Amino acid sequence: MRIGLFSDSYLPSLDGISYSIESFRIELEKRGHEVVVFAPAPGIRYKEKIPNIIRFPAVKGLFYDDYLTSMFFPPEAMQRIKKKELDVIHFHTPSQVGLLGAYYAIRNDVPLLSTYHTDLYQYVSHYPQVLPGAIALSLLAPLITRGGLADFRTAVSGLKPSRSIDKWNKKILVRGVTMLHDKCDYVIAPSHKIEKQLLSWHTTAPIRVLPTGVDKITTNQRAVTLFRHRHGIEDHEKVLLFVGRLGSEKNIELILSSMPHVLKQVPHTKLVLVGRHEHQTKLEKMAQDLDISHKVVFTGFIEHDKLGSVYEASDVFVFPSKTDTQGLVLHEAANSGLPIVMVDKDITEVVKDGVNGYIVRSSAKEMAKKIIAILHDDALHKSMSEASSRMAAKYSVEHQTILLEKLYESAISAHKRAKQLP
């Protein structure tokens, strides 16, 4: 197969979407397929090093500081896609490059799939600056999908402001995203949580739950020892770990609030926060106010292939976010055999309450109680660790890529059958 992956988030940007696309790309190529990635160029002078990656001019921070915005698509863009003679198109973002892929597929009768990676419905609560992008999506969706007058009326009606920008954003996003998804052969939800959300929006396209595959990140004892030493973690100290963006949507304040309770029972404990975001300044101030700064380590960004030593150096993975669609770090933590304490009860692919961790209410005391229970009981920690490894093994990159491959084949076959009908 010749597969086109369209995304507004891709390498060298390091996030869940980029990781998902890259892991699938590599595995699909191993399986003999030709994969072409279409993505923004992170800078005018950026030189692509990977074959079959097609870049488009982009700027950073037009709508959202962490997001590249492709400014325009020259006429030859469609020709560049056409020359690849793609058998299937899979778009990963409902934004400029992703929309270009959907536009081409719909107009040229190419099988089309979408993965809804980011819970934009929740994101607008934390980042209202995405409103211009939401408005653009709502207006463009009827054009991209070749919608009729009814679709245009639906889009325009969504632009009537409400008293709540949050509600307005969400209303606009739901309409635009649903119009796009309804033109897909399959819509992929990375978790049952997102499947439920898409169904509530009355998406008519077939929805398939397909988490991104995650393999264990290899490391060695020397790297583990160096990590602990570098960050002042003593041999006898327990480590609570969070990995991800240190943004407001991740609810990291909950972990910090739980730390004083944990330290009363397990004083030899440190919290390690891996990631970066401008919100870190507020988190550092909160740690100071709670008088726990000496117990909190901000590592900054760590390259993905070096995270193995971070997971192996830790005792419990703590995940307070309620906005994630899958939580790739949950899979990584589980692969490393970490018990997990989390808040989001709807992301349960690799976490079962009471089996390999605990799902708690958004309460500092309750989170602390469960963390303490795991740290105090070696037998419990061991059983949860083993359970995490077993559950994560179900979602290897190879296994999940095979499932994706079958969806592609199904979409292509359906289009071939439709063309053969009189």
pLDDT at residue 161 tops 80: no
Token pair 């991104």 is found at 212
Torsion, Cα 295 301 304 309, to 10 degrees, reads -30
Residue limits of CATH 3.40.50.2000 in the chain: 2-213+397-420, 221-395
Share of the chain above pLDDT 70, in %: 85
Torsion, Cα 72 74 77 78, to 10 degrees, reads 100
Q: In the predicted model, what is the mean pLDDT of residues 148-156?
A: 61
What would the two tokens of residue 245 be? 């963006």
Can you give the pLDDT at residue 89?
A: 98
Q: Quick one: which of 287, 332, 341, 288 has its CA closest to 310? A: 332
* Distances, alpha carbon 242 to alpha carbons 267, 297, 340, 374, 377, in Å: 19, 10, 10, 16, 21
* pLDDT tens-place string over residues 163-198: 554 555 567 778 788 889 999 999 999 999 999 999
Report residue 71's pLDDT band, with 50, 70 and 90 as the boundaries. low
Q: For 39-43, 124-128, 161-165, 340-344, which range has the lowest pLDDT when averaged over its residues? A: 161-165
165 contact partners, CB below 8 Å, separation of at least 6: 128, 131
Q: Is 398 exposed, middle or buried (0-12, 13-18, 19+ CB in 10 A)?
A: exposed
Angle CA(320)–CA(264)–CA(258) in degrees, nearest 5? Answer: 15
Q: For 151-160, 234-243, 286-295, 364-373, which range has the lowest pLDDT when averaged over its residues? A: 151-160
Report residue 125's pLDDT band, with 50, 70 and 90 as the boundaries. low
Query: Looking at the DSSP assignment, which residues form a beta bridge with residue 113?
Result: 90, 186
Residue of 61 and 45 predicted with greater confidence? 45
The alpha carbon of residue 404 and the mean position of all alpha carbons in its chain are separated, in whole angstroms, by: 17
How far apart (Å, rounded) are the C-alpha atoms in residues 187 and 205? 7
One-letter amino acid at 367 equals M
One-letter amino acid at 93 equals T
- What is the architecture, at CATH level 2, of domain 221-395? 3-Layer(aba) Sandwich (3.40)
Q: In the predicted model, what is the mean pLDDT of residues 270-280?
A: 93
Token pair 């770990």 is found at 241
How far apart (Å, rounded) are the C-alpha atoms in residues 330 and 350? 7
Query: Looking at the DSSP assignment, which residues form a beta bridge with residue 393?
Result: none
- Average pLDDT of the residues of the chain: 89
Q: In the predicted model, what is the mean pLDDT of residues 227-232?
A: 96
Can you give the pLDDT at residue 162?
A: 54
* Distances, alpha carbon 157 to alpha carbons 133, 145, 201, in Å: 17, 18, 17
Report residue 57's pLDDT band, with 50, 70 and 90 as the boundaries. confident
Q: For 66-75, 224-233, 333-342, which range has the lowest pLDDT when averaged over its residues? A: 66-75
Token pair 């892929």 is found at 101
pLDDT at residue 347 tops 80: yes
Fold of 2-213+397-420: Rossmann fold (3.40.50)
Q: In the predicted model, what is the mean pLDDT of residues 400-417?
A: 96
* pLDDT tens-place string over residues 4-37: 999 999 988 888 899 999 999 999 999 999 999 9
What would the two tokens of residue 256 be? 């910090």
Exposure letters 277-311 (e unless 16+ CB within 10 A, then b) = bebbeebbebbeeeebeebbbbbeeeeeeebbbbb
Helix H, strand E, coil C: the string for the chain is CEEEEECCCCCCCCCHHHHHHHHHHHHHHHCCCEEEEEEECCCCCCCCCCCCEEEECEEECCCCCCCEEECCCCCHHHHHHHHCCCCEEEECCCCHHHHHHHHHHHHCCCCEEEECCCCHHHHHHHCHHHHHHHHHHHHHHHHHCCCCHHHHHHHHHCCCCCCCHHHHHHHHHHHHHHHHHCCCCEEEECCHHHHHHHHHCCCCCCEEECCCCCCCCCCCHHHHHHHHHHCCCCCCCEEEEEECCCCHHHCCHHHHHHHHHHHHHCCCEEEEEECCCCCHHHHHHHHHHCCCHHHEEEEECCCHHHHHHHHHCCCEEEECCCCCCCCHHHHHHHHCCCCEEECCCCCCCCCCECCCEEECCCCHHHHHHHHHHHHHCHHHHHHHHHHHHHHHHHHCHHHHHHHHHHHHHHHHHHHHHHHHCC
Can you give the pLDDT at residue 119?
A: 76
How far apart (Å, rounded) are the C-alpha atoms in residues 101 and 115? 13
Whether the predicted model's global pTM rises above the 0.85 cut: yes
CA end-to-end span of the chain, whole Å? 26
How far apart (Å, rounded) are the C-alpha atoms in residues 242 and 256? 11
The alpha carbon of residue 268 and the mean position of all alpha carbons in its chain are separated, in whole angstroms, by: 33
Can you give the pLDDT at residue 168?
A: 52
